[in-house]
């Protein structure tokens, strides 16, 4: 009896393995097709400075609009791209597109100060990130100070020395560096003094528990105090409620991002939002 169950579950397992590898194979070719046929698109979500109420910068967030499957979330396809070895190609596409967009906006006369680009952890030490950025900047005649790269702590784990030298090359281009999802990784706090980091982005999971959950506010408050002491900018991600915004402001966090201010928007909607905000500020 148990043998039978074992055999059946093995067959089930085998069948699902086959389905999975087929799925991966078709994903791989669809992915490559998508890269070549402009099925990827950047969405834009502004960050707001609490003191002035103004937009301080904008983060680009990747979207995959598959004609059959519809919008696929980056939470689904970024891990897949990493697994399939396509993430560096994808990051390069994003970096180029972000520079192109920013250069266009500036030519059109808008004074958006910075565009933030998410970069996969794998990229920092494996690819030529600084070279990719330098090439995209010069291709679009854009100064590096208009760019911020968002990295996560896992980017530094494999090779701190290599990471540092790559970050220094980026800094010499004028690019600033943000640490994304701060507080969720294996935060070795010494990174903050060893690496040329400009901004900490407090992960949305902390913001979601403001102000209720025990101990959470103290952690957020400590992160903000530490960032200030180290002369780092601090951004709170995932701010959805006005109580959260008020609380963060009271603690001295001066930049927020989240659905409360604005959700990620298509390029056209983002420019409309930007101009409407400018008109009222």
By beta-carbon proximity to Mg ion, the closer residue of 59 and 166 is: 59
Q: Contact, 95 vs 127, CB < 8 A?
A: no
- Least Å distance, CB 149 to ligand C2E, is 10
Q: Which of the listed partners (Mg ion, ligand C2E, none) does 153 bind, with a CB threshold of 5 to 8 Å by partner kind?
A: none
Query: Which CB, 44 or 105, lies closer to ligand C2E?
Result: 44
Backbone phi and psi for residue 152, each to the nearest 5 degrees, phi listed first: -110, 165
Nearest to 248 by CA among 216, 214, 281: 216
CB of 121 to ligand C2E, least distance (A): 8
Tokens of 279: 């008109």
Which residues bind to ligand C2E, rule: CB under 6 A?
A: 45, 61-62, 73-75, 78, 91, 94, 118-120, 150, 180-181, 204, 237-240, 258-259, 264
Residue 144 or 185: which CB sits closer to Mg ion? 185
The 174-193 site mask, x for binding Mg ion (CB under 5 A), equals ------xx------------
Q: How far is the CB of 16 from ligand C2E (least distance, A)?
A: 27
What are 274's two structure tokens? Answer: 């930007």
End-to-end Cα spacing for the chain: 74
> Could you tell me how far CA 157 lies from the centroid of its own chain?
18
Closest approach, Cβ 31 to ligand C2E, in A, equals: 14
Nearer CB in complex with Mg ion: 92/120: 120
The DSSP string of 101-168 is: HHHHHHHTT-----EEEE--HHHHHHS-HHHHHHHHHHHTT--GGGEEEEE-THHHHS-HHHHHHHHH
State the chain's maximal CA–CA distance in angstroms. 75
Pair 63, 120: CB distance under 8 Å: no
CB of 196 to ligand C2E, least distance (A): 20
CB 137, min distance to ligand C2E, A: 17
When the beta carbons of 74 and 211 are compared against ligand C2E, the nearer one is 74
C-alpha span between 281 and 279 (Å, rounded): 6
34 binds, among Mg ion, ligand C2E, none (CB under 5 to 8 A by kind): none
240 binds, among ligand C2E, Mg ion, none (CB under 5 to 8 A by kind): ligand C2E
Nearer to Mg ion, 28 or 219 (CB): 219
**What's the 3-state SS for 197-240?**
CCEEEECHHHHHCCCCCCCHHHHHHHHHHHHHHCCCEEEECCCC
Q: Of ligand C2E, Mg ion, none, which one sits near residue 82, judging by CB under 5 to 8 A according to partner kind? A: none
Of 75 and 229, the one with the shorter C-beta distance to ligand C2E is 75
Q: Give the bridge partners for 148, in sequence order.
A: 116, 176
Enumerate residues 124-153 that contact Mg ion by CB under 5 A. Answer: 150
Cα–Cα distance measured from residue 132 to residue 137, given in angstroms and rounded to the nearest whole number: 9
* Nearest residue relative to ligand C2E (C-beta): 258
Chain residues in the site for Mg ion (CB under 5 A): 118, 150, 180-181, 237
């Amino acid at each position: 009896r148990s043998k039978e169950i074992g055999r059946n579950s093995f067959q089930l397992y085998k069948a699902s393995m086959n389905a999975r590898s087929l799925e991966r194979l078709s994903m791989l070719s669809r992915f490559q097709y998508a890269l070549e046929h402009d099925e990827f698109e950047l969405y834009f979500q502004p960050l707001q400075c609490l003191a002035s109420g103004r937009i301080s910068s904008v983060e680009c967030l990747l979207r995959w609009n598959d004609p059959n499957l519809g919008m696929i979330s980056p939470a689904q396809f970024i891990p897949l791209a990493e697994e399939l070895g396509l993430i560096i190609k994808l990051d390069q596409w994003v970096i180029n597109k972000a520079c192109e967009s920013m250069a266009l906006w500036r030519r059109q006369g808008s004074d958006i100060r910075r565009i933030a680009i998410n970069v996969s952890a794998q990229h920092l030490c494996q690819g030529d990130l600084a070279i990719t950025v330098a090439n995209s900047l010069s291709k679009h005649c854009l100064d590096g100070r208009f760019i911020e790269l968002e990295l996560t702590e896992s980017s530094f784990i494999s090779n701190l020395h290599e990471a540092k030298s790559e970050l220094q090359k980026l800094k010499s281009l004028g690019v600033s560096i943000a640490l994304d999802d701060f507080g969720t990784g294996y935060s070795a706090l010494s990174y903050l003094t060893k690496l040329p980091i400009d901004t900490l982005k407090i992960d949305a999971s902390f913001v979601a528990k403001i102000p209720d959950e025990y101990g959470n506010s103290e952690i957020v408050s400590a992160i903000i105090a530490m960032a200030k002491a180290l002369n780092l900018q601090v951004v709170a991600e995932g701010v959805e409620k006005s109580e959260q915004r008020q609380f963060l402001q009271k603690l001295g966090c001066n930049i927020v991002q989240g659905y409360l201010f604005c959700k990620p928007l298509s390029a056209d909607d983002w420019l409309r939002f930007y101009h409407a905000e400018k008109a009222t500020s």
